[in-house]
Structure 1
Protein backbone atom coordinates (compact mmCIF):
# COMPACT_ATOMS: atom_id res chain seq x y z
CA UNK A 1 0.00 0.00 0.00
CA UNK A 2 1.45 3.35 -1.05
CA UNK A 3 1.57 6.52 1.03
CA UNK A 4 -1.47 8.73 0.50
CA UNK A 5 -1.14 12.49 0.25
CA UNK A 6 -3.47 12.71 3.25
CA UNK A 7 -1.05 10.62 5.33
CA UNK A 8 1.56 13.38 5.41
CA UNK A 9 -0.09 15.44 8.16
CA UNK A 10 -0.40 12.36 10.39
CA UNK A 11 3.21 11.37 9.79
CA UNK A 12 4.48 14.85 10.56
CA UNK A 13 2.32 15.02 13.69
CA UNK A 14 4.16 11.91 14.89
CA UNK A 15 7.48 13.59 14.19
CA UNK A 16 6.47 16.55 16.34
CA UNK A 17 5.13 14.23 19.05
CA UNK A 18 8.33 12.18 19.31
CA UNK A 19 10.45 15.33 19.18
CA UNK A 20 8.57 16.79 22.14
CA UNK A 21 9.16 13.58 24.06
CA UNK A 22 12.85 14.53 24.03
CA UNK A 23 13.06 18.32 24.00
CA UNK A 24 11.26 21.46 25.17
CA UNK A 25 13.06 23.51 22.50
CA UNK A 26 10.16 24.49 20.25
CA UNK A 27 12.49 25.98 17.65
CA UNK A 28 14.25 22.63 17.36
CA UNK A 29 10.91 20.81 17.07
CA UNK A 30 9.90 23.07 14.19
CA UNK A 31 13.30 22.63 12.53
CA UNK A 32 12.97 18.84 12.74
CA UNK A 33 9.41 18.94 11.41
CA UNK A 34 10.49 21.17 8.52
CA UNK A 35 13.36 18.90 7.53
CA UNK A 36 11.10 15.85 7.70
CA UNK A 37 8.45 17.64 5.62
CA UNK A 38 11.06 18.34 2.94
CA UNK A 39 12.21 14.72 2.92
CA UNK A 40 8.63 13.53 2.77
CA UNK A 41 7.79 15.75 -0.20
CA UNK A 42 10.84 14.43 -2.06
CA UNK A 43 9.80 10.83 -1.35
CA UNK A 44 6.08 10.90 -2.11
CA UNK A 45 6.49 9.74 -5.70
CA UNK A 46 8.78 6.83 -4.84
CA UNK A 47 7.12 3.51 -5.86
CA UNK A 48 7.55 1.88 -2.45
CA UNK A 49 5.15 0.90 0.36
CA UNK A 50 4.20 3.63 2.80
CA UNK A 51 6.27 2.29 5.74
CA UNK A 52 9.50 2.58 3.72
CA UNK A 53 8.95 6.33 3.35
CA UNK A 54 7.72 6.74 6.92
CA UNK A 55 10.83 4.95 8.19
CA UNK A 56 13.12 7.37 6.31
CA UNK A 57 11.30 10.28 7.91
CA UNK A 58 11.51 8.88 11.45
CA UNK A 59 15.20 7.99 11.06
CA UNK A 60 15.91 11.59 10.08
CA UNK A 61 13.90 12.88 13.04
CA UNK A 62 15.77 10.60 15.45
CA UNK A 63 19.14 11.78 14.14
CA UNK A 64 18.12 15.42 14.55
CA UNK A 65 16.63 14.80 17.99
CA UNK A 66 19.81 13.01 19.04
CA UNK A 67 17.90 10.11 20.60
CA UNK A 68 17.73 6.61 19.12
CA UNK A 69 14.65 5.64 21.15
CA UNK A 70 12.36 8.56 22.06
CA UNK A 71 9.53 6.22 23.08
CA UNK A 72 11.53 4.11 25.54
CA UNK A 73 9.60 5.26 28.63
CA UNK A 74 6.23 4.87 26.93
CA UNK A 75 7.17 1.40 25.72
CA UNK A 76 8.09 0.31 29.22
CA UNK A 77 4.83 1.75 30.59
CA UNK A 78 2.84 0.07 27.78
CA UNK A 79 4.25 -3.33 28.68
CA UNK A 80 3.59 -2.82 32.38
CA UNK A 81 0.00 -1.67 31.74
CA UNK A 82 -0.65 -4.55 29.35
CA UNK A 83 0.75 -7.06 31.84
CA UNK A 84 -1.65 -5.77 34.48
CA UNK A 85 -4.60 -5.97 32.08
CA UNK A 86 -3.63 -9.45 30.86
CA UNK A 87 -3.64 -10.72 34.45
CA UNK A 88 -7.12 -9.28 34.92
CA UNK A 89 -8.64 -10.73 31.74
CA UNK A 90 -6.65 -13.84 30.82
CA UNK A 91 -9.22 -16.12 32.45
CA UNK A 92 -11.67 -15.00 29.76
CA UNK A 93 -9.25 -15.84 26.94
CA UNK A 94 -9.76 -19.48 26.00
CA UNK A 95 -10.03 -19.94 22.25
CA UNK A 96 -7.91 -18.86 19.29
CA UNK A 97 -10.59 -16.28 18.48
CA UNK A 98 -10.51 -14.89 22.05
CA UNK A 99 -6.73 -14.48 21.96
CA UNK A 100 -6.70 -13.01 18.46
CA UNK A 101 -9.31 -10.45 19.56
CA UNK A 102 -7.27 -9.63 22.67
CA UNK A 103 -4.23 -9.07 20.46
CA UNK A 104 -6.26 -6.77 18.19
CA UNK A 105 -7.49 -4.75 21.17
CA UNK A 106 -3.89 -4.48 22.38
CA UNK A 107 -3.04 -2.89 19.02
CA UNK A 108 -4.80 0.28 20.18
CA UNK A 109 -1.77 1.11 22.41
CA UNK A 110 -0.26 3.40 19.79
CA UNK A 111 0.94 6.98 20.29
CA UNK A 112 1.34 10.10 18.20
CA UNK A 113 -1.20 9.44 15.45
CA UNK A 114 -3.29 12.48 14.55
CA UNK A 115 -6.43 10.35 14.16
CA UNK A 116 -6.04 8.06 17.19
CA UNK A 117 -6.13 8.61 20.95
CA UNK A 118 -4.94 6.08 23.52
CA UNK A 119 -7.46 5.26 26.26
CA UNK A 120 -6.73 6.16 29.90
CA UNK A 121 -8.59 3.17 31.34
CA UNK A 122 -7.40 0.19 29.37
CA UNK A 123 -9.10 -2.48 31.51
CA UNK A 124 -12.52 -0.90 31.00
CA UNK A 125 -11.77 -0.29 27.33
CA UNK A 126 -10.56 -3.87 26.87
CA UNK A 127 -13.70 -5.40 28.39
CA UNK A 128 -15.97 -3.18 26.26
CA UNK A 129 -14.10 -3.97 23.04
CA UNK A 130 -13.92 -7.67 23.86
CA UNK A 131 -17.68 -7.79 24.36
CA UNK A 132 -18.17 -6.08 20.99
CA UNK A 133 -16.09 -8.74 19.22
CA UNK A 134 -14.38 -8.60 15.84
CA UNK A 135 -15.68 -6.46 13.00
CA UNK A 136 -13.99 -8.77 10.47
CA UNK A 137 -13.63 -12.32 11.76
CA UNK A 138 -11.70 -14.86 9.69
CA UNK A 139 -10.28 -16.60 12.75
CA UNK A 140 -11.71 -20.04 11.94
CA UNK A 141 -9.96 -20.07 8.56
CA UNK A 142 -6.77 -18.71 10.14
CA UNK A 143 -6.66 -21.34 12.88
CA UNK A 144 -6.75 -24.11 10.30
CA UNK A 145 -3.46 -22.81 8.83
CA UNK A 146 -1.41 -22.47 12.01
CA UNK A 147 0.92 -25.46 11.82
CA UNK A 148 3.90 -23.17 11.08
CA UNK A 149 3.43 -19.47 11.90
CA UNK A 150 5.59 -16.41 11.37
CA UNK A 151 4.22 -13.74 13.70
CA UNK A 152 5.30 -10.22 12.68
CA UNK A 153 4.86 -8.14 15.82
CA UNK A 154 4.02 -4.46 16.12
CA UNK A 155 3.86 -2.33 19.26
CA UNK A 156 4.99 -2.75 22.84
CA UNK A 157 2.09 -3.33 25.16
CA UNK A 158 0.16 -5.38 22.64
CA UNK A 159 3.11 -7.79 22.45
CA UNK A 160 1.99 -9.03 25.88
CA UNK A 161 -1.22 -10.27 24.26
CA UNK A 162 0.74 -11.55 21.26
CA UNK A 163 2.70 -13.69 23.72
CA UNK A 164 -0.54 -15.20 25.07
CA UNK A 165 -1.60 -16.05 21.53
CA UNK A 166 1.84 -17.57 20.87
CA UNK A 167 1.44 -19.73 23.99
CA UNK A 168 -1.93 -20.96 22.74
CA UNK A 169 -0.49 -21.79 19.31
CA UNK A 170 2.50 -23.59 20.78
CA UNK A 171 0.30 -25.67 23.10
CA UNK A 172 -1.83 -26.56 20.09
CA UNK A 173 1.22 -27.95 18.28
CA UNK A 174 2.18 -24.95 16.15
CA UNK A 175 5.74 -23.88 15.44
CA UNK A 176 5.93 -20.11 15.99
CA UNK A 177 8.60 -17.66 14.81
CA UNK A 178 8.32 -14.11 16.15
CA UNK A 179 9.70 -11.21 14.13
CA UNK A 180 10.31 -7.88 15.90
CA UNK A 181 12.00 -4.65 14.82
CA UNK A 182 15.75 -4.66 14.35
CA UNK A 183 16.12 -1.26 16.08
CA UNK A 184 13.83 1.14 17.97
CA UNK A 185 11.26 2.98 15.87
CA UNK A 186 8.11 4.52 17.33
CA UNK A 187 6.78 2.30 20.13
CA UNK A 188 7.34 -0.91 18.16
CA UNK A 189 8.74 -3.96 19.92
CA UNK A 190 12.43 -4.79 19.51
CA UNK A 191 14.44 -7.88 20.39
CA UNK A 192 15.15 -6.41 23.85
CA UNK A 193 11.42 -6.02 24.49
CA UNK A 194 10.71 -9.57 23.30
CA UNK A 195 13.40 -11.07 25.53
CA UNK A 196 12.27 -9.00 28.54
CA UNK A 197 8.80 -10.56 28.17
CA UNK A 198 10.19 -14.07 27.73
CA UNK A 199 9.09 -14.45 24.12
CA UNK A 200 12.38 -16.17 23.34
CA UNK A 201 11.20 -19.01 25.61
CA UNK A 202 7.92 -19.33 23.72
CA UNK A 203 9.10 -19.11 20.12
CA UNK A 204 12.01 -18.49 17.80
CA UNK A 205 12.63 -14.72 17.81
CA UNK A 206 14.09 -12.95 14.78
CA UNK A 207 14.38 -9.34 13.65
CA UNK A 208 12.85 -7.79 10.54
CA UNK A 209 16.11 -6.03 9.61
CA UNK A 210 19.84 -6.54 9.97
CA UNK A 211 22.59 -4.20 11.21
CA UNK A 212 20.34 -2.28 13.59
CA UNK A 213 18.26 -0.66 10.84
CA UNK A 214 15.11 1.04 12.18
CA UNK A 215 12.31 0.13 9.78
CA UNK A 216 8.52 0.03 10.15
CA UNK A 217 6.55 -2.89 8.76
CA UNK A 218 8.34 -5.58 6.81
CA UNK A 219 10.64 -4.44 4.02
CA UNK A 220 11.47 -7.73 2.33
CA UNK A 221 14.39 -6.14 0.45
CA UNK A 222 16.34 -5.84 3.70
CA UNK A 223 14.92 -8.78 5.67
CA UNK A 224 17.56 -11.10 7.18
CA UNK A 225 18.02 -14.49 5.47
CA UNK A 226 16.73 -16.34 8.54
CA UNK A 227 13.44 -14.44 8.38
CA UNK A 228 13.16 -14.89 4.61
CA UNK A 229 13.61 -18.63 5.10
CA UNK A 230 10.99 -18.71 7.87
CA UNK A 231 8.53 -16.85 5.64
CA UNK A 232 9.13 -19.29 2.78
CA UNK A 233 8.33 -22.24 5.06
CA UNK A 234 5.35 -20.70 6.88
CA UNK A 235 1.81 -21.99 6.53
CA UNK A 236 0.53 -18.66 7.90
CA UNK A 237 1.92 -15.18 8.45
CA UNK A 238 0.28 -13.22 11.26
CA UNK A 239 0.89 -9.53 10.55
CA UNK A 240 0.07 -7.20 13.43
CA UNK A 241 -0.86 -3.57 12.96
CA UNK A 242 -1.28 -1.11 10.13
CA UNK A 243 2.36 -0.75 9.07
CA UNK A 244 2.61 -4.48 8.47
CA UNK A 245 -0.64 -4.31 6.48
CA UNK A 246 0.76 -1.46 4.40
CA UNK A 247 3.96 -3.44 3.81
CA UNK A 248 2.35 -6.70 2.71
CA UNK A 249 -1.11 -5.95 1.32
CA UNK A 250 0.15 -5.59 -2.26
CA UNK A 251 2.45 -8.65 -2.12
CA UNK A 252 1.36 -11.73 -4.06
CA UNK A 253 4.11 -14.30 -3.45
CA UNK A 254 3.58 -14.97 0.25
CA UNK A 255 1.86 -17.71 2.24
CA UNK A 256 -1.62 -16.80 3.54
CA UNK A 257 -1.47 -13.62 5.65
CA UNK A 258 -3.64 -13.00 8.72
CA UNK A 259 -3.92 -9.27 9.40
CA UNK A 260 -4.71 -8.53 13.04
CA UNK A 261 -5.22 -4.83 13.80
CA UNK A 262 -7.37 -2.04 15.04
CA UNK A 263 -8.11 0.31 12.13
CA UNK A 264 -6.97 3.76 13.27
CA UNK A 265 -7.02 5.81 10.06
CA UNK A 266 -9.28 6.31 7.06
CA UNK A 267 -6.84 5.27 4.28
CA UNK A 268 -6.47 1.80 5.82
CA UNK A 269 -10.21 1.58 6.43
CA UNK A 270 -10.95 2.60 2.85
CA UNK A 271 -8.46 0.07 1.48
CA UNK A 272 -10.19 -2.76 3.37
CA UNK A 273 -13.69 -1.28 3.04
CA UNK A 274 -14.50 -0.86 6.73
CA UNK A 275 -14.81 2.12 9.12
CA UNK A 276 -12.14 3.52 11.40
CA UNK A 277 -12.34 1.82 14.79
CA UNK A 278 -12.95 -1.62 13.34
CA UNK A 279 -11.36 -4.66 14.97
CA UNK A 280 -9.92 -6.78 12.20
CA UNK A 281 -8.86 -10.41 11.86
CA UNK A 282 -8.62 -10.56 8.07
CA UNK A 283 -7.21 -13.53 6.13
CA UNK A 284 -5.85 -13.03 2.63
CA UNK A 285 -4.64 -16.09 0.74
Structure 2
Protein backbone atom coordinates (compact mmCIF):
# COMPACT_ATOMS: atom_id res chain seq x y z
CA UNK A 1 0.00 0.00 0.00
CA UNK A 2 1.56 3.27 -1.16
CA UNK A 3 0.01 5.42 1.58
CA UNK A 4 1.20 3.09 4.34
CA UNK A 5 4.65 3.02 2.75
CA UNK A 6 4.72 6.84 2.63
CA UNK A 7 3.68 7.07 6.29
CA UNK A 8 6.49 4.69 7.25
CA UNK A 9 8.99 6.82 5.32
CA UNK A 10 7.73 10.01 6.98
CA UNK A 11 8.20 8.48 10.43
CA UNK A 12 11.79 7.66 9.52
CA UNK A 13 12.48 11.04 7.94
CA UNK A 14 11.34 12.83 11.10
CA UNK A 15 14.39 11.31 12.81
CA UNK A 16 16.85 12.83 10.32
CA UNK A 17 18.48 16.30 10.54
CA UNK A 18 17.46 17.07 6.95
CA UNK A 19 15.82 20.29 5.81
CA UNK A 20 12.14 20.28 4.81
CA UNK A 21 12.95 20.24 1.06
CA UNK A 22 15.28 17.26 1.55
CA UNK A 23 12.61 15.36 3.51
CA UNK A 24 9.98 16.11 0.87
CA UNK A 25 12.36 15.02 -1.88
CA UNK A 26 13.11 11.67 -0.26
CA UNK A 27 9.41 11.03 0.21
CA UNK A 28 8.58 11.86 -3.40
CA UNK A 29 11.38 9.69 -4.75
CA UNK A 30 10.10 6.73 -2.78
CA UNK A 31 6.47 7.25 -3.81
CA UNK A 32 7.34 7.78 -7.50
CA UNK A 33 9.27 4.52 -7.40
CA UNK A 34 6.25 2.69 -5.98
CA UNK A 35 4.00 4.32 -8.59
CA UNK A 36 6.45 3.42 -11.35
CA UNK A 37 5.96 6.95 -12.68
CA UNK A 38 8.66 9.59 -13.18
CA UNK A 39 6.27 12.55 -13.38
CA UNK A 40 2.86 11.94 -11.75
CA UNK A 41 2.07 15.68 -11.88
CA UNK A 42 2.64 15.94 -15.65
CA UNK A 43 -0.99 16.60 -16.65
CA UNK A 44 -1.44 19.13 -13.83
CA UNK A 45 1.72 20.94 -14.90
CA UNK A 46 0.48 21.19 -18.48
CA UNK A 47 -2.90 22.48 -17.34
CA UNK A 48 -1.36 25.08 -15.02
CA UNK A 49 0.87 26.34 -17.83
CA UNK A 50 -2.13 26.74 -20.14
CA UNK A 51 -4.09 28.68 -17.52
CA UNK A 52 -1.09 30.87 -16.75
CA UNK A 53 -0.53 31.69 -20.43
CA UNK A 54 -4.18 32.70 -20.83
CA UNK A 55 -4.07 34.74 -17.63
CA UNK A 56 -0.88 36.54 -18.65
CA UNK A 57 -2.40 37.39 -22.01
CA UNK A 58 -5.37 38.98 -20.22
CA UNK A 59 -3.37 40.99 -17.68
CA UNK A 60 -0.10 41.87 -19.43
CA UNK A 61 -1.32 45.30 -20.53
CA UNK A 62 -1.34 46.63 -16.97
CA UNK A 63 2.27 45.65 -16.17
CA UNK A 64 4.81 48.38 -16.87
CA UNK A 65 7.28 48.78 -14.02
CA UNK A 66 9.77 46.39 -12.42
CA UNK A 67 7.52 46.22 -9.36
CA UNK A 68 4.52 45.28 -11.52
CA UNK A 69 6.37 42.37 -13.10
CA UNK A 70 7.68 41.22 -9.71
CA UNK A 71 4.16 41.25 -8.25
CA UNK A 72 2.91 39.21 -11.21
CA UNK A 73 5.74 36.73 -10.75
CA UNK A 74 4.90 36.31 -7.05
CA UNK A 75 1.21 35.87 -7.87
CA UNK A 76 2.37 33.08 -10.18
CA UNK A 77 4.00 31.47 -7.14
CA UNK A 78 0.53 31.18 -5.60
CA UNK A 79 -0.52 28.89 -8.47
CA UNK A 80 0.61 25.84 -6.51
CA UNK A 81 -1.25 22.59 -5.91
CA UNK A 82 1.55 21.10 -3.81
CA UNK A 83 0.96 22.92 -0.50
CA UNK A 84 -1.49 21.61 2.07
CA UNK A 85 -4.41 23.96 2.83
CA UNK A 86 -3.33 26.37 0.07
CA UNK A 87 -6.21 26.79 -2.36
CA UNK A 88 -5.83 27.70 -6.02
CA UNK A 89 -8.70 29.68 -7.55
CA UNK A 90 -10.48 28.27 -10.58
CA UNK A 91 -10.89 31.81 -11.94
CA UNK A 92 -7.27 32.82 -12.04
CA UNK A 93 -7.77 36.08 -13.94
CA UNK A 94 -10.06 37.45 -11.22
CA UNK A 95 -7.69 36.05 -8.60
CA UNK A 96 -4.77 37.79 -10.32
CA UNK A 97 -6.66 41.11 -10.36
CA UNK A 98 -7.43 40.81 -6.67
CA UNK A 99 -3.86 39.92 -5.68
CA UNK A 100 -2.29 42.49 -8.00
CA UNK A 101 -4.33 45.21 -6.30
CA UNK A 102 -3.11 44.04 -2.88
CA UNK A 103 0.53 44.45 -3.85
CA UNK A 104 3.39 43.18 -1.72
CA UNK A 105 3.40 42.78 2.06
CA UNK A 106 7.20 43.11 1.94
CA UNK A 107 8.41 45.29 -0.93
CA UNK A 108 12.17 45.61 -1.40
CA UNK A 109 11.91 46.08 -5.17
CA UNK A 110 13.59 49.52 -5.07
CA UNK A 111 16.63 47.92 -3.42
CA UNK A 112 16.56 44.80 -5.64
CA UNK A 113 16.50 46.55 -9.01
CA UNK A 114 19.98 48.17 -8.79
CA UNK A 115 21.47 44.69 -8.21
CA UNK A 116 19.96 43.17 -11.36
CA UNK A 117 22.98 43.26 -13.67
CA UNK A 118 23.94 39.54 -13.51
CA UNK A 119 21.21 37.34 -12.03
CA UNK A 120 20.98 33.68 -11.07
CA UNK A 121 17.24 32.97 -11.27
CA UNK A 122 16.07 29.84 -9.39
CA UNK A 123 12.61 28.89 -10.66
CA UNK A 124 9.87 27.05 -8.80
CA UNK A 125 6.55 25.85 -10.25
CA UNK A 126 5.58 25.05 -13.81
CA UNK A 127 2.67 27.47 -14.31
CA UNK A 128 4.60 30.08 -12.37
CA UNK A 129 7.44 30.21 -14.90
CA UNK A 130 5.05 31.80 -17.40
CA UNK A 131 5.02 34.86 -15.12
CA UNK A 132 8.76 34.49 -14.50
CA UNK A 133 9.22 34.69 -18.26
CA UNK A 134 7.44 38.04 -18.32
CA UNK A 135 9.72 39.34 -15.56
CA UNK A 136 12.81 37.94 -17.28
CA UNK A 137 11.79 39.62 -20.55
CA UNK A 138 11.54 42.97 -18.74
CA UNK A 139 14.92 42.45 -17.06
CA UNK A 140 16.69 41.46 -20.28
CA UNK A 141 15.18 44.46 -22.08
CA UNK A 142 16.69 46.65 -19.35
CA UNK A 143 20.17 45.16 -19.60
CA UNK A 144 20.16 42.20 -17.20
CA UNK A 145 22.06 39.01 -17.84
CA UNK A 146 20.05 35.97 -16.66
CA UNK A 147 21.23 32.50 -15.72
CA UNK A 148 18.03 30.47 -15.36
CA UNK A 149 18.00 27.40 -13.10
CA UNK A 150 15.28 24.73 -13.24
CA UNK A 151 14.87 21.38 -11.48
CA UNK A 152 17.07 18.56 -12.70
CA UNK A 153 14.23 16.00 -12.78
CA UNK A 154 10.44 16.17 -12.29
CA UNK A 155 9.27 16.54 -8.70
CA UNK A 156 5.86 17.84 -7.66
CA UNK A 157 4.81 20.53 -10.16
CA UNK A 158 8.25 22.16 -10.35
CA UNK A 159 9.63 23.42 -13.65
CA UNK A 160 12.23 21.32 -15.49
CA UNK A 161 14.37 21.90 -18.56
CA UNK A 162 11.59 20.47 -20.73
CA UNK A 163 9.18 23.09 -19.40
CA UNK A 164 11.65 25.94 -19.87
CA UNK A 165 12.46 24.92 -23.45
CA UNK A 166 8.79 24.53 -24.34
CA UNK A 167 8.25 28.20 -23.43
CA UNK A 168 11.42 29.29 -25.24
CA UNK A 169 13.11 30.61 -22.12
CA UNK A 170 16.52 29.60 -23.47
CA UNK A 171 16.12 32.38 -26.06
CA UNK A 172 15.80 35.01 -23.33
CA UNK A 173 18.17 33.74 -20.66
CA UNK A 174 21.90 33.85 -21.30
CA UNK A 175 22.19 30.31 -19.94
CA UNK A 176 19.83 27.65 -18.62
CA UNK A 177 21.12 25.16 -16.06
CA UNK A 178 19.51 22.53 -13.89
CA UNK A 179 20.04 22.22 -10.16
CA UNK A 180 21.95 19.01 -10.88
CA UNK A 181 20.29 17.21 -7.99
CA UNK A 182 18.00 14.68 -9.67
CA UNK A 183 14.54 14.31 -8.12
CA UNK A 184 15.14 17.00 -5.51
CA UNK A 185 12.92 19.79 -4.21
CA UNK A 186 14.76 23.01 -3.43
CA UNK A 187 18.51 23.61 -3.91
CA UNK A 188 21.45 21.35 -3.03
CA UNK A 189 24.86 23.04 -3.28
CA UNK A 190 26.64 19.72 -2.77
CA UNK A 191 25.06 18.39 -5.99
CA UNK A 192 25.44 21.47 -8.21
CA UNK A 193 27.54 21.50 -11.37
CA UNK A 194 30.85 23.36 -11.34
CA UNK A 195 29.45 25.73 -13.98
CA UNK A 196 26.54 26.76 -11.78
CA UNK A 197 28.73 27.13 -8.70
CA UNK A 198 31.06 29.41 -10.69
CA UNK A 199 28.09 31.46 -11.95
CA UNK A 200 26.91 31.87 -8.34
CA UNK A 201 30.35 33.17 -7.35
CA UNK A 202 30.23 35.78 -10.12
CA UNK A 203 26.60 36.97 -10.06
CA UNK A 204 25.34 40.26 -8.64
CA UNK A 205 22.03 38.83 -7.35
CA UNK A 206 20.21 35.56 -6.75
CA UNK A 207 16.47 35.59 -7.41
CA UNK A 208 14.88 32.75 -5.47
CA UNK A 209 11.29 31.81 -6.26
CA UNK A 210 9.07 29.99 -3.79
CA UNK A 211 9.21 28.47 -0.34
CA UNK A 212 11.39 25.40 -1.00
CA UNK A 213 14.15 27.52 -2.51
CA UNK A 214 13.83 29.95 0.40
CA UNK A 215 14.19 27.08 2.88
CA UNK A 216 17.24 25.81 1.00
CA UNK A 217 19.03 29.17 0.84
CA UNK A 218 18.14 30.87 4.12
CA UNK A 219 20.89 29.14 6.17
CA UNK A 220 23.64 29.37 3.54
CA UNK A 221 26.56 31.67 4.29
CA UNK A 222 28.66 33.68 1.87
CA UNK A 223 26.04 34.05 -0.85
CA UNK A 224 25.54 37.14 -3.02
CA UNK A 225 22.45 39.21 -2.18
CA UNK A 226 19.29 37.09 -2.47
CA UNK A 227 15.89 38.41 -3.57
CA UNK A 228 13.24 36.03 -2.26
CA UNK A 229 10.13 36.31 -4.41
CA UNK A 230 7.44 34.17 -2.84
CA UNK A 231 4.00 33.87 -1.37
CA UNK A 232 3.85 32.67 2.24
CA UNK A 233 1.58 29.68 1.59
CA UNK A 234 1.90 27.94 4.96
CA UNK A 235 1.80 29.11 8.57
CA UNK A 236 5.38 28.15 9.59
CA UNK A 237 6.96 30.16 6.76
CA UNK A 238 4.56 33.07 7.30
CA UNK A 239 5.40 33.15 11.01
CA UNK A 240 9.13 32.95 10.32
CA UNK A 241 8.90 35.89 7.90
CA UNK A 242 6.60 37.92 10.14
CA UNK A 243 3.71 38.06 7.67
CA UNK A 244 0.26 36.53 7.28
CA UNK A 245 -0.32 33.33 5.33
CA UNK A 246 -1.08 34.29 1.75
CA UNK A 247 1.03 37.48 1.84
CA UNK A 248 3.33 38.19 -1.10
CA UNK A 249 6.95 39.17 -0.60
CA UNK A 250 9.88 40.59 -2.53
CA UNK A 251 12.42 40.32 0.28
CA UNK A 252 16.10 41.24 -0.16
CA UNK A 253 18.65 39.70 2.14
CA UNK A 254 22.38 40.35 1.98
CA UNK A 255 24.93 37.83 3.21
TM-score relative to the length of structure 2 = 0.97
* Offset, 1:33: 2.1
Q: Is 1:169 matched up with 2:139?
A: yes
RMSD over aligned Cα, in angstroms?
1.0
What secondary structure, in the 3-state scheme, does the structure 1 residue paired with 2:208 have? strand
* Offset, 1:48: 2.7
* Offset, 1:41: 1.9
Mapping of residues 144-155 of structure 1, within 5 Å: 144-155=114-125
CA distance in 2, matches of 1:197, 1:75: 13
* Offset, 1:190: 0.3
Q: Is 1:222 matched up with 2:222?
A: no
* Offset, 1:259: 0.6
* Offset, 1:275: 1.0
Give unmatched runs, 5+ long, in structure 2. none
Deviations 1:192-241 (A, max 9, x none): 0000000000001100015xx11111111111222111111111100000
CA contact (8 A) 2:77 2:128 kept: yes
What secondary structure, in the 3-state scheme, does the structure 2 residue paired with 1:177 have? strand
Q: Is 1:206 matched up with 2:177?
A: yes
Q: Which residue of 1 aligns with 2:226?
A: 257
CA distance in 1, matches of 2:241, 2:123: 20
Q: Is 1:88 matched up with 2:71?
A: no
Q: Is 1:271 matched up with 2:230?
A: no
Mapping of residues 103-118 of structure 1, within 5 Å: 103-118=73-88
CA contact (8 A) 2:82 2:157 kept: no
TM-score relative to the length of structure 1 = 0.87
CA distance in 1, matches of 2:46, 2:229: 22
Size of the aligned set, in residue pairs, is: 253
Q: Which residue of 2 aligns with 1:43?
A: 13
Q: Is 1:64 matched up with 2:34?
A: yes
Bigger drift between 36-45 and 125-134 goes to 36-45
Give unmatched runs, 5+ long, in structure 1. 1-30
Moved over 3 A (4+): none
CA distance in 2, matches of 1:135, 1:182: 31
Q: Is 1:128 matched up with 2:98?
A: yes
